[in-house]
Structure 1
Amino acid sequence: MSLQAILGNFALILFILTIVTGVIWALDVFHFAKQRRAKADAALAEFDARQAKFQQEGVKTDNSSRARLESEILKQPTWIEYSGSFFPVIALVFVLRSFLYEPFKIPSSSMVPTLVIGDLILVNKYTYGIRLPILNKKIIEINNPQRGDVMVFKYPKDPSLDYIKRVIGVPGDKIVYRNKRLTVNGKEVSYAPLPDYLDEEHLTYSKQYVEKLPGATHRILNDERAPAYVQNPDPFPMHELCSYNLEGFACSVPAGHYFMMGDNRDNSLDSRYWGFVPDGNIVGKAFFVWMNLGDFRRIGSFK
């Protein structure tokens, strides 16, 4: 794994910090603290003996210095104090991000109008099964992705990158996309027109529709200026399961894989170009926008 990949893998960094701070905390509780206590007890015994001698000689003593002496000896070194303070916080964040919910930021417009650039979203990490952190290996089966789910996954060409798209095809599905219209397992997906969508950043309009996948309904965008065919798809693994022509493409989704597409159909590099997403690449199901600093109205759940 390259240094860039390690730095980009926040989960790995959290894991290392949790282990390091946890080991230091445990060493302090079960070893260093006992050493400091023994040292303090010895120093206090010597202090008490000295004070008793002074009292016998009629010398006035100051017992407040006893407490200061004990406090100074028992005080944790700075590096242990900080490690012990940070360990429970880091461990809690690691557990939450690894097994429950993980935050992501939307970096592109491929999921417009559902998600826009700058949306800060939450991803459910357990709905598709419990996975080991870092390794992303599933150890407990719970649910499988369904058509229409908005899913975060490791980019098949570079697993250090997280992508977000919508599940269009599940294992065994036959996906056909001709003239910008979907057919799933021989059944045409219905579309209902909506008012054109305004891209406020580029001041351009796109055709907007409600797409009714089997079991899911959501909005999509089409750019009338973009061609229907897929331009220069990669020779991805199992690409022989897909065929392309000037009207679009057709793909059979293999076992253990998913076919992903962005809602901004003509502005999304997705499974049409780089292939199927293996189950082992799944991160979780996106379900909530918890912040968008440019538009607080974006906060809320989405389909």
Structure 2
Amino acid sequence: MWRGSGVLNQRQFVRECVEIAVFVAILFFAFRIILQSYQVTSTNMSPAIVQSSLVLVNKLAYTTHNPERGDVIVFRYPRDTRIAYMQRVIGLPGDSILINGEHIWINGRQLHEPYTRLSYDNPFAKTWQVPSNQYFVLGDNRRTSDDSRLWDFVPRDYIIGKAAFVYWPLDQWQSVNNVSDAYR
């Protein structure tokens, strides 16, 4: 509560309002620098992240280190950089990726992915060698995913950030399942 004359109370009130406004503006700009909202526009990442979900993306996640295998990233689509995509990092620079049917091998070790929908048809085997500063990404819903199997790799400088948290719809609130440990 304010004490003293009415003029002092008014000045104190205005000062506090300005301080609050400055604080809110700083928070807003810090939020915009660190985090970005991304709307999932496809079923590529279902069932973990459903179409129309809103996800917070940590844009500073890769300022001190590179993406890890299993991270869910948001990146500029290599075929049209005006479009953002969300997918899971499968292959790192230098990796050899073999996809044979529904099975994936990374550098000769089979990958076990409990988070995917593994019902895609792929009667052929194909191998990719991930170039320096590029990443091989796949959607969790392999049947519908437009991913590195079709257009190869994501350049490091196309990566916007790491998916952190699903905040919409409210009944889907969850941290994003970045499963780096499953790949070690």
TM-score relative to the length of structure 2: 0.79
Match of residue 184 from structure 1: 106
Matching residue's letter, 2:32: R
- The 5 A counterparts of 1:217-228 are 218-223=114-119, 226-228=120-122
Matching residue's letter, 1:179: G
Q: 1 or 2 for the larger relative contact order (CA 8 Å, sep ≥6)?
A: 2
Work out whether 1:145 is the aligned partner of 2:72: no
Match of residue 70 from structure 1: none
Match of residue 275 from structure 1: 152
- The 5 A counterparts of 1:59-98 are 93-98=28-33
Pairs aligned (count): 157
> How far apart in 2 are the matches of 1:87 and 1:273?
48
1:297 to 1:184, Cα distance in 2 relative to 1, 3 A:
same
- Shift in Å at residue 227 of structure 1? 2.5
> How far apart in 2 are the matches of 1:90 and 1:254?
42
Contact 1:177 1:183 (8 Å CA) reproduced: yes
Contact 2:97 2:129 (8 Å CA) reproduced: yes
Work out whether 1:249 is the aligned partner of 2:126: yes
1:92-148: per-residue Cα shift (whole Å, max 9, x none)?
Answer: 5444223x111111111010011101211111111101xxxxxxxxxxxx0110000
Match of residue 47 from structure 2: 113
| Correspondent of 2:35 among 95, 101, 105 | 101
CA RMSD, 1 decimal: 1.9
- Shift in Å at residue 275 of structure 1? 1.6
Q: What 5-or-longer segments of structure 1 have no aligned partner?
A: 1-85, 130-141, 191-210, 212-217, 229-245
> How far apart in 2 are the matches of 1:290 and 1:164?
15
3-state SS of 1:221 partner: coil
- The 5 A counterparts of 1:114-129 are 114-129=48-63
- Shift in Å at residue 248 of structure 1? 3.2
Match of residue 300 from structure 1: 174
Matched residues, percent identical?
Answer: 38
Matching residue's letter, 1:154: R
TM-score relative to the length of structure 1: 0.49
| Correspondent of 2:161 among 274, 284, 294 | 284
More helix per residue: 1 or 2? 1
1:248 to 1:87, Cα distance in 2 relative to 1, 3 A:
farther
**Whose Rg is larger?**
1
- Shift in Å at residue 184 of structure 1? 0.5
Contact 2:72 2:176 (8 Å CA) reproduced: no
